[in-house]
Amino acid sequence: MTIIDNLTRAFHRRKGAVPALAAVLIMAACFAQAQDTGAIVRERCHECHELAKTCLVETDDAQWWHETVLRMVEYKSELLTADEAAAVSAFLADKGKRASVCTPQ
Ligand code: HEC
């Protein structure tokens, strides 16, 4: 009897386990994406100025962040793809996520 067999049996017995597992995986994927976006900010946003320039900003205005991030991409076109620019803007417009890249690790 393999682990897979055991899991399969467990899922058949308790059908609620499947949606529960799916929910956990989706949450993990969202978390991983937020982490990746934070890594992009840490890696790419200190080349021309310190990351501190980003951390000094206190607004949560998503529109402002989007315009600002797109301006950075105008300075360096290969900085971010359109998807990355959207993810980075949304990330930086969130106070908690901004703090996660701005507080020393
Ligand atoms: C190619 C160089 C370059 C890169 C890379 C760069 N920036 Fe900038 N950034 C600038 C310059 C130049 C300014 C000052 C002029 C301006 O605000 O447009 C600036 C200003 C800023 C400001 C202040 C804007 C304001 O109005 O107060 C923020 C915030 C900022 N950058 C965030 C970022 C973020 C986030 C990234 C990474 C996605 C990034 N920058 C990457 C060149 C760059």
User: Does 77 have pLDDT greater than 80?
Assistant: yes
Distance between CA 70 and CA 63 in Å, rounded?
Answer: 11
Residues 97, 38 contacting (CB under 8 angstroms): yes
The closest-lying atom of ligand 1 relative to the alpha carbon of residue 76 is 1
Give me ligand 1 centre to Cα 49, in Å.
Answer: 7
pLDDT of residue 1: 66
pLDDT per position as a tens digit, 13-68: 777 777 888 888 877 877 777 779 999 999 999 999 999 999 999 999 999 999 99
Q: Is the CB of 46 under 6 A from ligand 1?
A: no
Q: Whose CA is nearest to atom 38 of ligand 1?
A: 45
SS (H, E, C) 52-103: HHHHCCCCCCHHHHHHHHHHHHHHCCCCCCHHHHHHHHHHHCCHHHHHHHHC
Q: Is the CB of 75 under 6 A from ligand 1?
A: yes
Q: Dmax over Cα atoms in the chain, in whole Å?
A: 59
Residue ranges per structural domain of the chain: 32-102
pLDDT of residue 38: 96
Q: What is the sign of the dihedral through the CA atoms of 65, 67, 71 and 77?
A: positive
- Taking only Cα atoms into account, the Rg of the chain, rounded to an integer number of angstroms, comes to 19
